[in-house]
Amino acid sequence: MGTENPGRPSFPATPFAAAPPTMTPFSNSGSVVGSEASNLRPMRPTVPPNTSPPMTAGPAGSGESPAFRPAPPTRFNDPSLPTPPSSYGPPAAGTFNRFPTPPFGSMPPGPPARAPVVGQPPFQPPPSQVSPPLSFRPQGQIPGVPMGSPPPGVNTPQIDSSFPASRPNFQPSFPPTVSGYPAAGASSQLPLPGYVKQSNAPFQAPQGPPVQSPFQSPPVGYAPSAPTPSPHFLSQQGGLAQAPPVASPYGLHSSTMPPMGAMQGLIEDFSSLSIGSVPGSIDPGVDSKSLPRPLEGDVEPNSLPEGYSLNCNPRYLRLTTNAIPNSQSLVSRWHLPLGAVVCPLAQAPEGEEVSVLNFVSSGIIRCRRCRTYVNPFVTFTDSGRKWRCNICALLNDVPGDYFAHLDATGRRVDLDQRPELTKGSVEFVAPTEYMVRPPMPPLYFFLIDVSISSVRSGMIEVVAKTIKSCLDDLPGFPRTQIGFITYDSTVHFYNMKSSLTQPQMMVVSDLDDIFIPLPDDLLVNLSESRTVVEAFLDSLPTMFQDNLNMESAFGPALKAAFMVMSQLGGKLLIFQNTMPSLGVGRLKLRGDDPRAYGTDKEYSLRVPEDPFYKQMAADFTKFQIGVNVYAFSDKYSDLASIGTLAKYTGGQLYYYPSFQAANHSEKLSHELTRDLTRETAWEAVMRIRCGKGIRFTSYHGNFMLRSTDLVALPAVDCDKAYAMQLSLEETLLTNQTVYFQVALLYTASCGERRIRVHTAAAPVVSDLGEMYRQADTGAIVSMLSRLAIEKTMSSKLEDVRSNVHLRIVKALREYRNLYAVQHRLGGRLIYPESLKFLPLYGLALCKSTPLRGGYSDVPLDERCAAGFTMMALPVKNLLKLLYPSLVQLDDYLLKPSASADEFRKVMKRLPLTADSLDSRGLYVYDDGLQIVLWFGRMLSPDIAMNLLGPDAAAELSRVTLVERETEMSRRLMGLLKKLRESDPSYHQLCNLVRQGEQPREGFMVLTKLVEDQTGGTNGYVDWLIQLHRQVQQNA
Amino acid sequence: MVKLTMIARVTDGLPLAEGLDDGREVKDVELYKQQVKALFKNLANRPNEPSRMSVETGPYVFHYIIEGRVCYLTMCDRAYPKKLAYQYLEDLKNEFERVNGPQIETAARPYAFIKFDTFIQRTKKLYQDTHTQRNIAKLNDELYEVHQIMTRNVQEVLGVGEKLDQVSEMSSRLTSESRIYADKARDLNRQALIRKWAPVAIVFGVVFLLFWVKTKIW
């Protein structure tokens, strides 16, 4: 052992110096290992230069040596399998020869194979790899590398000596090993450099951890053998020094590898990450700080390969992978969803708006056969007289007035004046053929519940005020139409004829056969009837203030609204406060039954009970009516049923549980204002076309399909995204590139009919690795979450979660099979760089409101509402919702001055674990839907006083944050404002929570810290370990 | 009662505006809209049509006036006074020219003046009821020589082109059918021939066969 020590110190000097920090993580793994655990523990501390003392103690104490001996024989036999699998690089061969080759070869399928071999007592750990996985394997592998040891001669002697000592049995097996070894040694060097090349740049960072692991391993396995190694070790080190960083780890191990150690090390896998360029690796047991986290938020894929610069911006269209597989078999091996997430009207930053082109006179240029719109990827031939469609490859004639000559390179001479040929996103003004009727005016119809609970909660007043304040900003002046219906146990209509001064109210109480009391004037032109509308909104809150009616004739009111609107279409906003109790569409209090959870009936709570609502939604869509539902009930109100109205009409469900005007008015009025004033596309249809051989087969989001591939969207805006999955129609794609084209035909609020066209291209690949490399986590997560939410409608939450888990496991396993074999990455979880956040988002998805826990974790209505919301969210917002930002504020507030620049620096997102919360700090948590300010228990009273004034001592649930006369308060409010502005689609209500204030802190913050272990769910680290284990199990 | 109102540019038939919420009570409103569009196209092809005309179609009548290369058209019940209809169109024309006059020639997209629909709607309401004082007064006014306006049937107007099409279609059907007839006749002829001579040929065949067999065996 003593000899070893000298060697150790030298390690630090080598690249490993960096390693130490990570070392700690191993401790976990150590314990897992079992018998060896004891050894490991001492080791850890020692790992750094000082390792030597503990090391010795460890091995000796554990009495590992005995354990080892028995094992060797068997192993060797195995190893005797002379030829290492050809698949392994030469280095591998080296390792294997010494050790049980089979295990290695089987690496991917690994665990089982090994188990028998390693099965021997000492080596249990390796077999157990599955469980202790990460930490151990790496070690093992590293030793394997020893072959790295250039001087074969040195090694062999050692081995010999050690082996005889340990066991006679070994001897026989030896010869083969030895012989193999030199060869391996020679060859091994070659591989190493190669490896280095690949891994160099990309991997350096990840390497840190891997290196460490090797470190530890040596101690464990080798301790006993220590004496012999020293010389060997030194020599190797020298050799290694020249070697690239990656190589060095191996060197280390090899050095540590004494005879016995060698064996052990060999058993373990190689931790190299030498895979291609992108993949990364983790040691789960290791440093939780080094785990990948999307602290930068969503990163849009911008590294498109050369030649795809004409693609539309990814904010409009994102593919789950930017490399389309060329065969069915490849698709089936890519276990993640294959498809696209489309947000056709995404808000473009200033200066990047989509340009509008007018082709009315000449007609829009489209392919004769597949109706593709002309786009940057079409090619002109025959000196400009023909163009070839990029999607179906048909040769079309160029119409006379679109003709232009081609220059020498085959480009049109007028290319720079043709945005449709240079930009991925354009808008065409639609000619008459694209209209079935004249462009409709923007139309807003309000259906307001005026029963007692909505009066009491103050909802009516807020709504009336907000609508009134928005009248000036409604899009489409002067054509905008507006109308109102209110309902409790009867339905009230309002005549708003422009010649009146006050609206006339008409009450219809025949709920079974609802009719419209007046043919016109229920829906009026806003600019003409402005005064009447204002008078109505002014009087609305007082009109019903004494209403004691508790019933709700929601169904009949809905039908009435439908009758009024059906002629024009438009947007129907429903403010619903009570469970529908009268007339058609009444709902039962089927309740949130705890007994249903965990049974096969569970899903039925989440699907609409009464087909009435789906039928209504279908009718609404048919007549171009989009429905937005604002639900306020504090009791169960079966949003699963009511929400379908929004779901199938391309709308949105806003849910304000236990709405109280005092607390929530700001949120409601912001969101209603945005709903009313954002640019909206009316009577829209969307179709996505793609090249030959592939087809979009399923669509996910809030809309209704009109035919197999035509998405009907009565009203659509920038806050809605849609996902669709692809499948291959032919077994083999022959073309090099496939193209996607999203076309949205809609009526703008100004009365123009337009077609917005986004075109993108993606290469076709035959290599699974490339698919993984080009994967887009954001799109994948968006797709996965939509699929998962849809699945909650037909199965148990538990199944849905395990399904998500399984998909990730399968994908990682496939990836692992792809690379682990070549590179023997046994002990680590490997994944492509592009998917480094996938496991975390998967975890977050399983913990998101729609999928989380069971009965008691989330009220059913909230779960359904969140499901509807997540089905519509664009990628960026979804990712933020899944992995919210957590930022420490106290430093920022204390600092004297702050500029915008500093603001950015302040907004450094922290990992979502309880560890990030310091009880002396003030944190802001923002998931895009709400903001929580978390006050640490030890937060300096000064800050609290400044921000909250005299309320600082009160219970924070009753305190609202208002701007105070202090600098600090002003800055905080400024900051919150900025946060809100950065994501205007929802208003993030600010909640205050003090540390330790239960249960508020629990459900507002602690359960949302997705990386923590809460209520029987996995923490991030456990999740990774579990993933990893499963990835390896059936590999 | 005014059912439909459409305004289009005569030169190319481009629709410029249309009444909001039109045709609520009309069955087959799409059919009538198609007819109107065909009519506009016709007008574009034949510039010499009279500038005022009434065209009967089913239970309704189209009334239109062409002024300043713009055609204002409305569809009313047959019972609706012609005089009021033209008065209505006149009102539309005045307002339309006042508001959009200069841009009419340059309008490049369909329904470029869709904002005009609010005015159409408002005016329409004034003319909805023939018994209001205002409308009765108008009826009594001899402002326009309405009775001189020609009334034709929609089939006549749209049918000129259609008839030619029909004739050519019929003749082409005739040629193809006569060709089929000739083929069939030839076929039948051949079959009759076979039916006539086949038994004789078979008898002779058998006889010769027997002879041949006989010579072989003996």
Give me chain A's average pLDDT, please: 73
A 507-526 → B contacts, CB under 8 A: 520, 525
Q: What band does B161 get if pLDDT is binned at 50, 70 and 90?
A: low
pLDDT of residue B212: 92
B-chain residues within 8 Å CB-CB of A751? 111, 114-115
Are the CB atoms for A322 and A774 separated by under 8 Å?
Answer: yes
pLDDT of residue A469: 94
pLDDT of residue B206: 95
Q: What band does A990 get if pLDDT is binned at 50, 70 and 90?
A: confident
Q: Phi, psi (5° rounding) for residue A337?
A: -65, 145
Q: Which residue is listed with tokens 């939450």?
A: A797
The per-residue b/e assignment along B118-154, b for 16 or more CB within 10 angstroms, e otherwise, is: bbbbebbebbeeeeeeebeebeeeeeeebeebeeeeb
By C-alpha distance, the chain A residue nearest B13 is A432
Give the integer Cα–Cα distance in Å for A629 and A967.
Answer: 40
Tens of pLDDT, residues B109-118 = 888 888 888 8
A-chain residues within 8 Å CB-CB of B17? 438
For residue A896, give the 3-state DSSP assignment. Answer: coil
A86-100, A828-842, B151-165: the lowest-pLDDT one:
A86-100
A474-478, A502-506, A999-1003: the lowest-pLDDT one:
A999-1003
By C-alpha distance, the chain A residue nearest B29 is A437
Across the interface, do B108 and A361 touch by the CB < 8 Å criterion? yes
Nearest to A478 among B108, B109, B115 (CB): B115
Q: How far away is chain A from the Cα of B18, in angstroms, using its nearest Cα?
A: 7
State yes or no: pLDDT of A686 exceeds 90.
yes
State yes or no: pLDDT of A198 exceeds 90.
no
Q: What is the mean pLDDT of residues B191-213?
A: 93
> Does residue A917 or residue A495 have the better pLDDT?
A495
Best of A364, A427, A567, A745 to disrupt the B interface (most B CBs within 10 Å) is: A567
> Does residue A848 or residue B42 have the better pLDDT?
A848
Tens of pLDDT, residues A220-247 = 333 333 333 333 433 333 333 333 333 3
Q: What band does A416 get if pLDDT is binned at 50, 70 and 90?
A: confident
Q: Which helix (H) or strand (E) holds A926?
A: strand A922-926
CA B172 distance to own-chain centroid: 22
The size of chain A, in residues, is 1035
Q: What band does A299 get if pLDDT is binned at 50, 70 and 90?
A: low
pLDDT of residue A650: 92
Q: What is the mean pLDDT of residues A688-711?
A: 90
A43 DSSP β-pair partners: none
CA A525 distance to own-chain centroid: 44
Q: How far away is chain A from the Cα of B147, in angstroms, using its nearest Cα?
A: 33
Nearest to A751 among B14, B21, B114 (CB): B114
For residue B94, give the 3-state DSSP assignment. Answer: helix
Give the integer Cα–Cα distance in Å for A928 and A872.
Answer: 14
Give yes or no for a cis peptide into A999 (omega within 30° of 0): yes
Backbone angle region of A775, left / alpha / beta, with phi > 0 → left and psi within -120 to 50 → alpha: beta
Tokens standing for A234?
Answer: 């030194």
Nearest to A525 among B17, B114, B118 (CB): B118
Percentage of chain A exceeding pLDDT 70:
68
Across the interface, do B121 and A360 touch by the CB < 8 Å criterion? no
pLDDT of residue A249: 33
Tens of pLDDT, residues A564-586 = 998 889 999 999 998 899 999 88
CA B93 distance to own-chain centroid: 25
Q: Does the predicted model carry a pTM greater than 0.80? A: no
The answer for residues whose C-beta is within 8 angstroms of residue A365's C-beta and 6 or more apart is A359, A373, A374, A387, A398, A399, A402, A420
Percentage of chain A exceeding pLDDT 90:
28
By C-alpha distance, the chain B residue nearest A528 is B118
Are the CB atoms for A103 and A77 separated by under 8 Å?
Answer: no
State yes or no: pLDDT of A518 exceeds 60.
yes
Q: How far away is chain B from the Cα of A438, in angstroms, using its nearest Cα?
A: 7
Are the CB atoms for A653 and A865 separated by under 8 Å?
Answer: yes
Please tell me what DSSP assigns to residue A347: P
Angle in degrees, 0-180, between the axes of helices A20-33 and A37-46, rounded to the nearest 10? 170
Q: What is the mean pLDDT of residues A649-661?
A: 91
Across A719-807, the runs of DSSP E, i.e. the strands, are: 722-728, 737-747, 753-765
> Does residue A432 or residue A960 have the better pLDDT?
A432
Q: What is the mean pLDDT of residues B125-153?
A: 74
| Percent composition of chain A: helix, strand, coil (DSSP 3-state, to 5) | 45, 15, 40
State yes or no: pLDDT of A365 exceeds 70.
yes
The answer for residues whose C-beta is within 8 angstroms of residue A279's C-beta and 6 or more apart is A273, A815, A819, A830, A831, A832, A833
Across the interface, do B109 and A527 touch by the CB < 8 Å criterion? no
Percentage of chain B exceeding pLDDT 90:
26
Best of A429, A432, A563, A568 to disrupt the B interface (most B CBs within 10 Å) is: A432
Give the integer Cα–Cα distance in Å for A455 and A449.
Answer: 9
> Does residue A758 or residue A52 have the better pLDDT?
A758
Interior CA angle at A425 toward A422 and A428, to 5°?
A: 95
pLDDT of residue A373: 93
Give the integer Cα–Cα distance in Å for A603 and A845.
Answer: 18
Tens of pLDDT, residues A133-188 = 333 333 333 333 333 333 333 333 333 333 333 343 433 333 333 333 333 333 33
pLDDT of residue A774: 86
State yes or no: pLDDT of A75 exceeds 50.
no
A 320-359 → B contacts, CB under 8 A: 358
pLDDT of residue B193: 93
Count residue pairs from A and B with Cβ separation < 8 A: 54
pLDDT of residue A1018: 80
Q: Which helix (H) or strand (E) holds A214?
A: helix A191-217
Across the interface, do B117 and A438 touch by the CB < 8 Å criterion? yes
The per-residue b/e assignment along A836-869, b for 16 or more CB within 10 angstroms, e otherwise, is: bbbbbbbbbbbbbbbbbbebebbbbbebbbbbbb
Give the integer Cα–Cα distance in Å for A108 and A741.
Answer: 40
Count CB atoms within 10 A of the CB of residue A973: 16
Q: What band does B145 get if pLDDT is binned at 50, 70 and 90?
A: low
Tokens standing for A122?
Answer: 């000492």
Give the integer Cα–Cα distance in Å for A863 and A787.
Answer: 15
A845-849, B37-41, B181-185: the lowest-pLDDT one:
B37-41
State yes or no: pLDDT of A838 exceeds 70.
yes
Q: What band does A427 get if pLDDT is binned at 50, 70 and 90?
A: very high
CA B174 distance to own-chain centroid: 25
A631 DSSP β-pair partners: A576, A655
A-chain residues within 8 Å CB-CB of B122? 528
Q: How far away is chain A from the Cα of B36, in angstroms, using its nearest Cα?
A: 13
> Does residue A928 or residue A446 have the better pLDDT?
A446
Q: Is A31 on the interface with B (CB under 8 A)?
A: no
Are the CB atoms for A161 and A229 separated by under 8 Å?
Answer: no
Tokens standing for A366?
Answer: 């489209």
Across the interface, do B14 and A432 touch by the CB < 8 Å criterion? yes
Highest mean pLDDT among A624-628, A726-730, B142-146 belongs to A624-628
Q: How far away is chain A from the Cα of B97, in angstroms, using its nearest Cα?
A: 19
pLDDT of residue A935: 86
pLDDT of residue A164: 37
Q: What band does A615 get if pLDDT is binned at 50, 70 and 90?
A: very high
Tens of pLDDT, residues B50-95 = 888 888 888 888 999 998 889 999 998 888 888 888 889 988 999 9
Are the CB atoms for A118 and A71 separated by under 8 Å?
Answer: yes
Rg (CA), chain A: 33
Q: What is the mean pLDDT of residues A970-979?
A: 85
Give the integer Cα–Cα distance in Å for A87 and A101.
Answer: 12
State yes or no: pLDDT of B146 exceeds 70.
no
Q: What band does A288 get if pLDDT is binned at 50, 70 and 90?
A: low
List residues of B whose CB lies inside 8 A of any A CB.
14-15, 17-18, 20-21, 24, 108-111, 114-115, 117-118, 121-122, 125
pLDDT of residue A911: 85
Are the CB atoms for A237 and A255 separated by under 8 Å?
Answer: yes
A-chain residues within 8 Å CB-CB of B118? 478-479, 525, 527-528
